[in-house]
Structure 1
Amino acid sequence: MPEVTDNAALGRYEMVIDGVTAFVSYVRQGDRITLAHTEVPKALGGRGVGSLLATAVLDDIRRRDLRLVPECEFIAAFIRRHPEFGDLVVAPNDVP
């Protein structure tokens, strides 16, 4: 699996494949992370890159013991299909 890195300066997780970058942008506040947008360029389409990226990002969020607000529809749909990540989710207005 290609490596996923947390580019905190840009507020996004990144995965580079064949020189092309797929990413999930986020906003972090304390122990809460809001995943705002996922982008997989067309050059990487149809290769399962979005699922690989989502899995790696969610695994990292679990490892860091963060709480997740899945604002991004792709991530929200991924979690619905993979309920093993459901325990990471909190409502946007829950008090930390």
Structure 2
Amino acid sequence: MVVRNADKDRYEVFYGSDLAGFAEYTERGTETVFTHTEVDSAFGGKGLGSKLAAFAIRDTVDRGHRIRPECSFIRSYLERHPEYGAHVTGVSDE
């Protein structure tokens, strides 16, 4: 299960009842800046990072926000999913 925890400015992925990882972000107006993503090594190999990224990106787009991927994990996910390109900002500037 993946949820947006707006109180902590992050998306969280759970494996059963255990918090397995998160993607931190900051919001600047209608831009969501992803700053850091991690999945605990105890949960590696289960595809949780991809589920986390997919949910976070879809939710950001659904909320009408643009995505700024400062986090290398989110940036990598977006490179593999060009269908979100119209919603991404800041990549070609760097």
1:53 has 2:47 as partner: no
1:17 match: 15
Q: Aligned partners of 1:41, 1:87: CA distance in 2, in Å?
A: 31
Aligned equivalent of 2:42: 43
CA distance, structure 2, for counterparts of residue 42 and residue 20 of structure 1:
12
TM-score scaled by structure 2? 0.89
The aligned length equals 91
Normalising by the residue count of structure 1, what TM-score does the alignment of the two structures yield?
A: 0.87
Structure 1 position 8, deviation (Å): 1.5
Q: Determine the C-alpha separation between the residues in 1 that align with 2:74 and 2:5.
A: 18
- Work out the CA distance in 1 between the residues paired with 2:54 and 2:29: 22
Instruction: Compute the displacement of 1:48 (Å).
Output: 0.7
Tell me what 1:26 maps to. Answer: 25
Equivalences for residues 48-87 of structure 1 within 5 A: 48-87=47-86
* Aligned residues with identical type, % of pairs: 40
Alignment gaps of 5+ in structure 1: none
| Unpaired runs of at least 5, structure 2 | none
Distance 1:48 1:21 in 2: 11
Q: 1:20 Cα shift?
A: 2.8
